[in-house]
Chain A
Amino acid sequence: EDQVTQSPEALRLQEGESSSLNCSYTVSGLRGLFWYRQDPGKGPEFLFTLYSAGEEKEKERLKATLTKKESFLHITAPKPEDSATYLCAVQALGTKIIFGSGTRLSIRP
């Protein structure tokens, strides 16, 4: 069964303190791995798509990486406005897109 697990569930950082969020997955043939950001009371907003092991994508203070079993979302020198829930999702064979339960990130000024 396709499965996506994110850790930690919650992470509190001081402004400027870099860290990483983890997304491990078990799927029968990965077609794509996605990262989303979700603010309270809003729908998720797309950040990145990764297709194959070794691939990396960057956007401002965020960098996503992919291996054969997991993906990391690295946050460098975060600011309070980076506080949100970060969701990982995978698409295996077929058309379903399955989400993990997310990591709630809080950045203190």
Chain B
Amino acid sequence: NAGVTQTPKFQVLKTGQSMTLQCAQDMNHEYMSWYRQDPGMGLRLIHYSVGAGITDQGEVPNGYNVSRSTTEDFPLRLLSAAPSQTSVYFCASSPRQGGVGGELFFGEGSRLTVL
């Protein structure tokens, strides 16, 4: 089983460039989310979605856009990359809306460096 698949695993960008981090899950989960993980700060929620066509902001949404056109895919877009966006990004999904009563399934992460 593939579970949650993130691509790319590693990426280096220059300041001002744009890019999209891809996330796909094959478990038919309604809930999907994006987190960033920085040393000493744990996982911080960027954006989340409770179903196709529905997205909402998390703790640190500035500089990022998301869309949810299908149940399977939840891409994260960086519009104009900044060095402060250097981080490890995790996509996670859950079988129940909001994850209540069910756990989050995480991808392997995408390590992004912005020069």
**Interface on A for B, CB 8 Å cutoff?**
6, 9, 31-32, 34, 36, 41-46, 49, 87, 89, 91, 94-102
User: Once the chains bind, are A94 and B98 in contact (CB under 8 Å)?
Assistant: yes
Contact partner of A44 among B43, B50, B58, B100, CB < 8 A? B43
Residues of B within 8 A of A (CB): 4, 31, 33, 35, 40-45, 48, 50, 56, 58-59, 90, 92, 97-109
Question: Do A42 and B109 touch across chains, with their CB atoms under 8 A apart?
Answer: yes
Cα–Cα distance between A73 and B13 once the two chains are bound (Å): 39
Known A-B contacts A44-B90, A44-B104, A46-B105; the reply to A91 vs B99 at CB < 8 A is yes
State the total of A-B contacts with C-beta under 8 angstroms.
70
Output the least CB separation between B100 and chain A (Å): 5
Q: Is the CB of A87 within 8 A of B42?
A: yes
B59 A98 Cβ-Cβ under 8 A: yes
Q: Is the beta-carbon distance between B43 and A99 smaller than 8 angstroms?
A: yes
The answer to whether B48 touches A96 (Cβ under 8 A) is: yes
Q: Is the CB of B99 within 8 A of A97?
A: yes
Q: Is the CB of A34 within 8 A of B106?
A: no
Given A31-B100, A43-B106, A46-B105, 4 further pairs, Cβ under 8 A: A32-B101, A34-B103, A91-B98, A101-B42
Measured in the bound complex, the distance between the Cα atoms of B44 and A32 in whole Å is 17
| A contact residues around B104 at 8 Å (CB) | 34, 36, 44, 46, 89, 97
